[in-house]
Amino acid sequence: MTANATSVVLEKVVKRYGDVEVIHGIDLNIDPGEFTVFVGPSGCGKSTLLRMVAGLEPITGGDLLIDGQRMNDVPASRRGIAMVFQSYALYPHMNVYQNLAFGLETARMPKAEIAKRVQKAADILKIEPLLKRKPRQLSGGQRQRVAIGRAIVREPRIFLFDEPLSNLDAELRVQMRVEIAKLHNDLGNTMIYVTHDQVEAMTMADKIVVLNAGVVEQVGAPLELYNNPRNRFVAGFLGSPKMNFIESTVSRIEGAHGTVNVGGTAFQLRQQLAGFKEADKIVFGIRPEHMGLTETSGVKLADVRVDLVEQLGDQTMLYASTQGGQALTIALEGQQHMPLGSTVTAYVDPTKYHAFGPDGRAL
Amino acid sequence: MTARSLADATAAPAGGRAVTPSVWSRIWSANGAGYLFLLPWFIGFFGLTVGPIVTSLYLSFTNFDLLTDPKWIGAANYVRMFTADPKFAQSMRVTFMFVIFSVPLKLAFALAIALLLNRGMRGLPIYRAIFYLPSLLGASVAIAVLWRTLFAGDGVINDFLALFGIQGPSWISNPRYSLWTLILLAVWQFGSPMIIFLAGLRQIPQDMYEAASLEGASKWRVFWKITLPLLTPVVFFNAIIQTIEGFKSFTPAFIISGGTGNPINSTLFYTLYLYQEAFAFFRMGYASALAWVLLIVVALFTGFSFLTSRFWVHYDD
């Protein structure tokens, strides 16, 4: 943590546009120096929440505290925040140096100090040779670096990133992802990053905030969310390919535990089934990577028909269906070959599956 | 042409060798319908535009009074214009004054109103229509007559000034003010550039303003450092169009001065002088030469504007 590291607290934060409420009373603590990622599907409110922190959207209800100070009515420029936009928002008529210096000139900083800061940011981001170029003369990755540089020169308390890698190609995204993570390690500032890409969220975050329809579904460390999703939404959103969900029926109750019928196979759940009775519905969840086709993979789930095989080189993705027509995705290590239409037995790791009640909450 | 029709077209006639269709017949059979649709435009373009342009170029080297045949006099009209015609110089001076003052003022006013309307106010389409109205009416005879009535010695403006004890001059018959009255009329017709500015302002990404607001830029700084530079392609376009319009301006000066360009030739616009030479004195050859000089002046100005644009017009790509 550096001297710049700053805490951000949201207390019952609400956003309304007229009668329509889009953020429904969010509570959140972001610790100093933490890299927090807001992730969720399109329209879940993640960008709106970020813009409320930035001061670009007024907060309808609740409080935003930065280092314990209420910021709701403080103008964006006085919050100690710098933001990197999805579109980069570089001024096309200014060269890179002028883009970086604009905010500092606005703050009437001495020219020598401006030059020093621009040089420092250019060194960090390796954009020194680009300083005299206009944004149109830069590649997507270079523009992204300049946009980050514009944030760095201001030496803000908090960095905000609004889907900054969305416009880059796959290779560049990975490269920039690493660079941003490295930047966080070097600077140590509090950073809030918005993305709809769960891979970005998993790889970059200290803390992930999963948002859905204006509410926080779960907050936690990436692996905590991956291993122990609080509900079916989080379980389905994090992980690629996504978790298999199989509609199941409770077939027998024995004390606090019970057996469920999963795709025609009786399966004893390790989760407690308190309050459930026979014939109740639950959803059985298992990630593709926690399934296999050999007995060593775990316990038998069902015989399945091979519908499609995708060879990824290091992995083979098997798309199959149970006799009841339930679609399953199974991720196999290495290069596996099997004929389409053949029947194989699917096994699941008995320590890795999940179960969700009818309300979607994890059991 | 399909394979079948090509085969038909190149088939040998009954008793002789194969006939290759001419280029014209091939073009006609391939695109005949298209050319037929274009015909009205071709007639208009060649009959009403190219024809008169070429004719006026020829006439500019002749002495032609509409009643007798044109008489070739070489460059005499042009020589006279630049050496022995004080009214030519006066009309040039008046027109340049008009353009130099009316165009920047009109553009500044149009931009100011566009900035106001760009703030997302209620009833925007109504305001837009109201502000655009003068542009529709401005060049009409009716508005010029109205303007004359407003700015006459006993006009509405002076009646209004009299309420405050101010004795206004006769704006249109005083050579000190007459041109300024016409400049004011031109500025009042700001609707057209305003609409274009408004469209340009809508094209500036909101992200730029948000980035500037996070960096603490004041509205003044945002205008000068972001809005105006990003709007320069639109400013450039409007400046060119309005300058050409300014050089061509005729109706207001004609109506307000009664077609004379008075008082003391202070409203003798170039086009008004050209009109006088052509249709009052029937010196069609000289009027044609005047028209060609105007064309060259406008072309030089436009060319110069394009040359300098690289230094101040900022295109995104």
B190-218 residue pLDDT tens: 889 999 999 999 999 999 999 999 999 99
Please tell me which residue of chain B has the smallest CA distance to A78: B216
Residue A299 distance to chain B (closest CA, Å): 54
Q: pTM of the prediction?
A: 0.81
State the pLDDT confidence band at B11, using cuts at 50, 70 and 90.
very low
pLDDT value of position B17: 54
State the pLDDT confidence band at A1, using cuts at 50, 70 and 90.
very low
pLDDT value of position B77: 96
Q: What residues of chain B lie within 8 A of the CB of A106, using their CB?
A: 212, 215-218, 221
Domain-terminating residue out of A210, A237, A264: A237
Question: Is B316–A89 a contact, with Cβ atoms under 8 angstroms apart?
Answer: no
Q: Does residue A20 sit in the same domain as residue A108?
A: yes
Please check whether residue A1 lies inside any domain of the structure. Answer: no
Q: What residues of chain A lie within 8 A of the CB of B213, using their CB?
A: 56, 75-77
Q: What residues of chain A lie within 8 A of the CB of B225, using their CB?
A: 91, 102
Write the pLDDT tens digit of every residue in A148-194: 999 999 989 999 999 988 888 888 888 888 889 988 998 899 999 99
**pLDDT(B93) > 50:** yes
Residue B217 distance to chain A (closest CA, Å): 6
Q: Does residue A227 sit in the same domain as residue A286?
A: no
Q: Does residue A39 sit in the same domain as residue A187?
A: yes
Q: How many domains does chain A have?
A: 2
Please check whether residue A302 lies inside any domain of the structure. Answer: yes
**Rounded to whole angstroms, how far apart are CA atoms A332 and A314?**
9
Q: Does residue A189 sit in the same domain as residue A252?
A: no
Please check whether residue A191 lies inside any domain of the structure. Answer: yes
Average pLDDT, chain A: 90
Write the pLDDT tens digit of every residue in A35-51: 999 999 988 999 999 99
**A76, A86, A87 member nearest B214 (Cβ):** A76
Q: Does residue A13 sit in the same domain as residue A99?
A: yes
Q: Does residue A217 sit in the same domain as residue A105?
A: yes
DSSP H or E segment with residue B110: helix B86-117
CA distances from A4 to A33, A36, A69, A113, A204 (A): 8, 16, 15, 19, 20
Q: Does residue A274 sit in the same domain as residue A297?
A: yes
Please check whether residue A363 lies inside any domain of the structure. Answer: no
Please tell me which residue of chain B has the smallest CA distance to A155: B215
Q: Does residue A146 sit in the same domain as residue A284?
A: no
Q: Does residue A203 sit in the same domain as residue A311?
A: no
pLDDT value of position A252: 85
Q: Does residue A175 sit in the same domain as residue A311?
A: no
pLDDT value of position B30: 85
Question: Is A102–B229 a contact, with Cβ atoms under 8 angstroms apart?
Answer: no
* CATH label of the domain that carries residue A294: 2.40.50.140
State the pLDDT confidence band at A272, using cuts at 50, 70 and 90.
confident
Please check whether residue A362 lies inside any domain of the structure. Answer: no
Please tell me which residue of chain A has the smallest CA distance to B227: A91
**B210, B214, B229 member nearest A93 (Cβ):** B229
Residue A187 distance to chain B (closest CA, Å): 20
Please check whether residue A94 lies inside any domain of the structure. Answer: yes
pLDDT value of position A93: 92
User: What is the interface size between A and B, counted as CB pairs within 8 Å?
Assistant: 62
pLDDT value of position B139: 63
Cβ atoms of A156 and A5 within 8 Å: the answer is: no
ipTM, interface predicted TM-score of the complex: 0.83
Mean pLDDT of B120-140: 77
**pLDDT(B314) > 80:** yes
Write the pLDDT tens digit of every residue in A256-266: 788 888 877 78
Write the pLDDT tens digit of every residue in A214-265: 999 999 999 999 999 999 999 999 888 899 998 888 888 887 788 888 877 7
State the pLDDT confidence band at B5, using cuts at 50, 70 and 90.
very low
Give B206's contacts (C-beta < 8 A, 6+ positions apart). none
Mean pLDDT of A128-140: 92
Work out the percent of chain A whose per-residue pLDDT is above 70: 99
**A54, A106, A150 member nearest B216 (Cβ):** A106
pLDDT value of position B14: 47
**B210, B221, B317 member nearest A106 (Cβ):** B221
Residue A133 distance to chain B (closest CA, Å): 13
Interface test with A, best of B203, B214, B223, B231 (most A CBs within 10 A): B214
Provide the residue range defining the domain that includes A35. 8-237
**A92, A102, A103 member nearest B316 (Cβ):** A92
Q: Does residue A119 sit in the same domain as residue A147?
A: yes
Question: Is B316–A82 a contact, with Cβ atoms under 8 angstroms apart?
Answer: no
* CATH label of the domain that carries residue A134: 3.40.50.300
Question: Is A107–B216 a contact, with Cβ atoms under 8 angstroms apart?
Answer: yes
Q: Does residue A163 sit in the same domain as residue A39?
A: yes
Please tell me which residue of chain A has the smallest CA distance to B206: A89
pLDDT value of position B158: 87
**Rounded to whole angstroms, how far apart are CA atoms B253 and B100?**
16
Please tell me which residue of chain A has the smallest CA distance to B209: A89
State the pLDDT confidence band at A269, using cuts at 50, 70 and 90.
confident
pLDDT value of position A193: 95
Cβ atoms of A292 and A332 within 8 Å: the answer is: yes
Mean pLDDT of A79-89: 92
Region(s) of chain B under CATH 1.10.3720.10 = 80-312
Superfamily of domain B80-312: MetI-like (1.10.3720.10)
